Amino acid sequence: MQQFLPNGNTKLVILIGNPVGHSLSPKMHTSAFIKIGFNAVYLACNVELSRLKQTVEAIRALNIIGANVTIPHKIEIMKYLDEIDPIANDIGAINTIVNKDGILYATNTDGIGAVRSLKESHIRLDNITTTMIGAGGVARPIAFYLLNEINHLYITDIKHEAASKLKSDLEKRYPNKISTFSNDVGTLSEILKSSDLLINCTPVGMFPNIDNTPVPISLLRKDLAVFDVVYNPIQTKLVKNALSLGAIAIGGIKMFLYQGVEGFELWTGKKAPVKLMENIIVNELSSK
């Protein structure tokens, strides 16, 4: 890759969160900017809650072209922005900001990225039935954007109230398309018989507990596609089990990749170098 040195015309994109030192985004995005010849750098900024409003004001004052927002600021930052994508507003959290000539527009590319990763992996979404395990923070954006495509969504969580709350929020936009069910293997087995796609939104199977899986292999089958949001390890036991049966199965690395791709394309107005970005993520995770 060619050497890059910033100059007086170099644009800036930032990551706002706390902590941010572990983030793969600066290397991924800056490398992608260089690859397409877009004169910009991406920096991670550790921001305390008390400095959040000032940080948003700095985006305008310094003409920063965009930002990502991560934990713990995805909700609180919304009050300081000018325009929020309607679905992201319903989700109640944003992760991407675009500076449109001083007007700060925000969206949530987590859900967009999840849907795009499924489509890019040749998983059919139109009119299918999906089962989602877990109703926490990562489940919300996926569910809100997925219901634009699918016919019905079944949701379960170890906390029944969490599943019920997500169902209630989703039904304001998508009435009669969501059901909840009890979190036990017997009920899950019955629900999966009529499902085309299984999504794991829990941390089960995440490093170091890599031998755990939220769904026994006996409940999987060749024609049940699987999406596991866990990306460390790159292939969880759930993904490996599904692949061993001949099913289409993808891990959370694809969602992370495509949420980044969506942001990149919003900031630059250009197509992202997807393969380069994916290789950087895989190499960084493999080296840890």
Cβ neighbourhood burial of 7 (10 Å; 0-12, 13-18, 19+) = exposed
Name which of 148, 141, 159 is nearest 75 in CA terms. 141
129 neighbors 136 (Cβ within 8 angstroms): no
Helix axes 25-36, 252-268, angle to 10 degrees: 50
Which token pair is 138? 């990562």
Q: Give CA–CA dist 256/278, Å, rounded.
A: 9
Catalytic one among 11, 35, 53, 74? 74
| CA–CA dist 143, 65 (Å, integer) | 29
CA distance 34 to 136: 36
Question: Is residue 271 annotated as a catalytic residue, yes or no?
Answer: no
- Give the up-direction half-sphere exposure of residue 27: CA atoms within 13 A in the CB hemisphere: 14
Q: How deeply is 19 buried, as exposed, middle or buried, from its count of CB atoms within 10 A (0-12, 13-18, 19+)?
A: exposed
Is residue 15 within 8 A of residue 70, CB to CB? The reply is: yes
**From the CA atom positions of the chain, what is the Rg in Å?**
19
Q: For residue 2, report the phi and psi dihedrals to the nearest 5 degrees.
A: -65, 155
Any idea which residues carry the catalytic annotation? 74
